[in-house]
Structure 1
Amino acid sequence: MENHLNSLSNSNSNSNSNSNSKKPRAIIIAHPLQGHLIPTIQLAIKLASKGISITFINTENIHHQITTSNPTAIDTDGGGDIFIEARNSSGLDIDYMTVSDGLPLEFDRSLYHDQWVGATIHCFPAHVEVAVAKIVRSKPLTCCLIVDSYSVWASKVAKKFGLFHVSFWTEAAMVLDFYFHLHLLKENGHVGPGSNARNDTIDYIPGISSVKRSDLTSYLQEEDLTTMSHQCILPSMEDTKRADFILGNNVHELEAQTIEAIQKTTPFYAIGPLFPPGFTKSPVASSLWAESNCIDWLDSKSPSSVLYISFGSYAHISKEELEEIANGIKLSRVNFLWVIRPDMVSSDDLDPLPIGFRNEVCDRGMIVTWTCQTSVLSHRAIGGFLTHCGWNSTLESIWCEIPLLCFPLLTDQFTNRKLIVDDWKIGCNLCDEKPVKREEVSQKIKDLISGSMGYELKDKIKGVKRILENAMTTNGSSDKNVDSFINELIGADINKKST
């Protein structure tokens, strides 16, 4: 590991000009999941474009998956530096390092989830400390540590090395508001033992008018709060409260009431949406699976005639649910592009689709293991998105004006569904009650692609997209918030060094 740190760091440092030596440096550590990695990479690019020097730390496992899946986009001669194109084409000052997460590269983190979570809590921080110590010694102007909010150790490491702790929140602000007021949810009996019996309205969270218990994150809907996942999530939220700053991949105007409630106790800067320059093509490879080229197939389809289906990079779906959805798709007779990653049901079930399904729909469907989602969503042929309601997928769909059919599976996706369907009205539930049934799936798909529901949702989503566009313009809220954060950080760093 140490040799790999040296080779990447030294080769990158040599590419930086001497003029960069006096710029403040931020260490950014990505959470080792695809949905967190993507916006974290864009955060690094955003801050570097604003004049901050960056050292980006990835896990060896995620690095290995990226370089294996994107061999033509990686500088293999330089040790696999994923930022080589961003640095060469835009002159961005970004160093790149990798560290172990404490598990062997070959270990199946999807199949053995609890062991992986345990390693991120207990083993990963030790490797991070070694890397941060090395950076601080060689880069004396390092001023802050930017770490994903789902880390239990960030404030401790930042304090040890005299760095400001910046927490990076990659989800809706409403989710953070839930976690910050977990004590209220517990006191009122909506979270914890016996909470499954509660179906009354939750109307006491600051910044949130009202929600149902089913709108909480999946982990807060569980009565047992002692699982390995809870041992990571709940302490990490307490650690996030201790952060000097929080950066959110959000837009202030989308969740103004909630964000302003958070800001009363914590410096929170909504700086999203964090999209690649040009949206469809990032200068930094981040895909953990090889991407199939679907564009030629989409080019052959009529405008707005194709349903895009993807349940994201992390959550699993049951085989029974998958079969009902597949049969509903078949009954709808709609053109579709479906992403089915290899471990979507289980690493032990590589083709969970119903027997014969692929042959029966081959005339109107394309099934791939992974693809470039931004390229797909921005294609004229896409008319709707059947989604798990991940936050990245939500923001990307808004930008591309693609209405959503919502089927949340895990974590923040239930809260995102509430925002999409109930608040912003840019999507519809795939099924009103579980279990999901093929007949309802078929009808909802047809209504989305060729019915009045699709037209109504598209009209709504245009207005929400304008909110994102305005925030991203010069002097828009997100652009100003990035500048405000940098000014506050530099000012705080100067004051700290002068005392």
Structure 2
Amino acid sequence: MEETHQKPHAIFVPYPLQGHVNPSVHLAIKLASKGFTVTFINTHSIHHQITAASAASDIFAAIRESGLDIRYATVSDGLPVEFDRSLNHDQFMAALLHVFSAHVEAAVEGIIQSGTTPEPSCLIADSFFVFPSKVAKKFGLKYVSYWTEPALVFTLYYHIGLLRLNGHFGCLEAREDAINYIPGVKSINPIDTTSYLQESDGSSVCHQIIFKAFEDVKGADFVLCNSVQELELETILALKTKMPFYSIGPVFPIGFTKSLVPTSLWSESDCTQWLDTKPPGSVLYVSFGSYAHVTHDNLVEIATGLLLSEVSFVWVLRADIVSSEDPDPLPSGFREELGDRSMIIPWCCQIQVLAHPSIGGFLTHCGWNSILESIWCEVPLLCFPLYTDQFTNRKLVVDDWKIGINLCDKKQITRVEVSRNVSHLMSKKTGDNCRNEIKGMKKRLENALRPDGSSEINLDQFIKDLKFSIQKKSGATLGGNKDRISNGT
């Protein structure tokens, strides 16, 4: 059967957190460059933050001038724009669980009824949403689930029923021995699973989202994953036996430079001039991402450990890193004692900093985007996971790939151990093992993105399969989707 000549039109809904919006914007641009029309839907809150930081009323205006057909819309997440989502995490998650779907459904219906051309043919939505398969089915769209974390985390959540059945999750006294029955995963210790899988109480709003989202994802027609086949081969091959699963990462801005599309939720400080004064590989970059919080005690130990290490560093210290109500949690006199040894800023363009030759290490919360960006820049990692997927990401970095070390080996952080491990990573002598390993990892990422690389082949195959599926369905009744993912557990 011939491929359809109609241009695919994807309605794209990213999860409203910085670490999900970034790879979603870059995937939208990549699909548009391959002939898609994309209607990208941000929440009012995310849109407000981005435009306040960048003064761009339509974030895709500049990229549209290059000829790409990306349209832009916003919807409410169910909360007032001025509501502090970081300080009220549970209320924010509850809105995404119970309210957000109605706003998305109304927006999708409005786009379809507007008579826009080409007619929307698929819904691309973050895998953590609980509603996409139902909305897609209602409007006769193909559902593409977009997973922005490693395949290992996806398969742990996907097999949550197996973990429960075997007593590793969902009981008061969960087993502590290794988990060795997940398809495509050799063995993993419970302490290396995500934070939500380590909790005995599975009744939180975040647990409800995970349970419902991974029921919903079984209704997806395709799953795209921001990982690389060669990095997680056995896990990805096992998932491909259960569903149409395509590893297409790393999803970066074109050329790994600052994107034409603003995505940052805060104004970015430029530390290039300061970095230019430092020797190659001498500066530690410190950032705990866009959302996770650090306790005040841990922050004081980390700050004091950095001071003791005598290493130069750039520290991205969000105003709400401890709490929105504690805007300056650093020890008294800390900034003055550092002098010109450090630069402490509220936010930055991370890929620009990591790509600077003076950066020699990255103290990170182990967010997946940060790990991929660090590999691309050949910057070894000092790992301090805080919550969700970050504990599993740490396992990949430290135990499997050997491209980083732990900030502290125990739950209790001490300034002495922080200082010792910072010095260990930044030293040319002791940190060279990680630096050598990360060069090989960078090569795998580069190879995956070549025209004949696994990620490019997988993305092209997805587009081909999607077009064929749309054409095949064009004569079917509304919502008559038969090619759905099986339960798989």
TM-score of the pair, normalised by structure 1: 0.93
How far, CA to CA, are the matches of 1:24 and 1:228 in structure 2?
A: 35
Cα displacement string for residues 413-464 of structure 1 (whole angstroms, at most 9, x for unaligned residues): 0000000001111000111111011101101111111242311111000001
1:23 to 7, 12, 21: 7
Q: Which has the higher contact order (CA 8 A, sep 6+)?
A: 2
2:48 to 29, 40, 64: 64
> What amino acid sits opposite 2:87 in the alignment?
L
1:351 is matched with which residue? Answer: 328
How far, CA to CA, are the matches of 2:173 and 2:154 in structure 1?
A: 20
1:122 is matched with which residue? Answer: 98
- After superposition, where does 1:61-210 map in structure 2 within 5 Å? 61-71=45-55, 74=56, 80-88=57-65, 90-137=66-113, 138-139=115-116, 141-195=119-173, 198-210=175-187
2:400 to 406, 419, 423: 423
Structure 1 SS opposite 2:254: coil
For the pair 1:447 / 2:431, whether they are aligned, the reply is no
Q: Which moved more, 1:204-213 or 1:227-236?
A: 227-236
For the pair 1:258 / 2:222, whether they are aligned, the reply is no
For the pair 1:298 / 2:275, whether they are aligned, the reply is yes
Shift of 1:188: 1.6
Cα displacement string for residues 228-272 of structure 1 (whole angstroms, at most 9, x for unaligned residues): 111112211111122110001111111010011111111111111
Shift of 1:161: 0.3
Shift of 1:115: 0.9
Does structure 2 conserve the Cα–Cα contact (< 8 Å) formed by 1:403 and 1:457? yes
Structure 1 SS opposite 2:256: coil
Cα displacement string for residues 2-37 of structure 1 (whole angstroms, at most 9, x for unaligned residues): xxxxxxxxxxxxxxxxxxx95220000011000000
How far, CA to CA, are the matches of 1:430 and 1:41 in structure 2?
A: 32
Give the ranges of 4+ consecutive aligned residues of structure 1 lying more than 3 Å apart after TM superposition.
Answer: none
> What amino acid sits opposite 1:486 in the alignment?
I
1:223 is matched with which residue? Answer: 200
> What amino acid sits opposite 1:276 in the alignment?
P
Cα displacement string for residues 298-349 of structure 1 (whole angstroms, at most 9, x for unaligned residues): 0010000000000000111111111111110000000000011111111111
> What amino acid sits opposite 1:492 in the alignment?
S
Query: What is the aligned residue count?
Result: 470
Does structure 1 conserve the Cα–Cα contact (< 8 Å) formed by 2:157 and 2:210? no
Shift of 1:280: 2.3
Does structure 2 conserve the Cα–Cα contact (< 8 Å) formed by 1:22 and 1:141? no
Does structure 2 conserve the Cα–Cα contact (< 8 Å) formed by 1:217 and 1:410? yes
Cα displacement string for residues 182-239 of structure 1 (whole angstroms, at most 9, x for unaligned residues): 111112211122345x331111111000111011000111110000111112211111
Does structure 2 conserve the Cα–Cα contact (< 8 Å) formed by 1:248 and 1:272? yes
Structure 1 SS opposite 2:156: helix
How far, CA to CA, are the matches of 1:181 and 1:453 in structure 2?
A: 39
1:50 to 34, 40, 43: 34
Does structure 1 conserve the Cα–Cα contact (< 8 Å) formed by 2:128 and 2:209? yes
How far, CA to CA, are the matches of 1:453 and 1:249 in structure 2?
A: 31
1:341 to 294, 318, 321: 318
Does structure 2 conserve the Cα–Cα contact (< 8 Å) formed by 1:399 and 1:465? yes
How far, CA to CA, are the matches of 2:384 and 2:85 in structure 1?
A: 24
- After superposition, where does 1:232-271 map in structure 2 within 5 Å? 232-271=209-248
How far, CA to CA, are the matches of 1:195 and 1:183 in structure 2?
A: 17
2:362 is matched with which residue? Answer: 385
> What amino acid sits opposite 1:56 in the alignment?
F
> What amino acid sits opposite 1:282 in the alignment?
S
1:368 is matched with which residue? Answer: 345
How far, CA to CA, are the matches of 1:151 and 1:199 in structure 2?
A: 30
- After superposition, where does 1:291-330 map in structure 2 within 5 Å? 291-330=268-307
How far, CA to CA, are the matches of 1:358 and 1:47 in structure 2?
A: 45
How far, CA to CA, are the matches of 2:261 and 2:87 in structure 1?
A: 28
> What amino acid sits opposite 2:81 in the alignment?
L
> What amino acid sits opposite 2:240 in the alignment?
Q
How far, CA to CA, are the matches of 1:195 and 1:188 in structure 2?
A: 12
Structure 2 SS opposite 1:453: coil
RMSD: 1.1
How far, CA to CA, are the matches of 2:12 and 2:220 in structure 1?
A: 14
* Gap regions ≥5 residues in structure 2: 477-489
How far, CA to CA, are the matches of 2:368 and 2:39 in structure 1?
A: 25
2:380 to 386, 403, 406: 403
How far, CA to CA, are the matches of 1:484 and 1:209 in structure 2?
A: 28
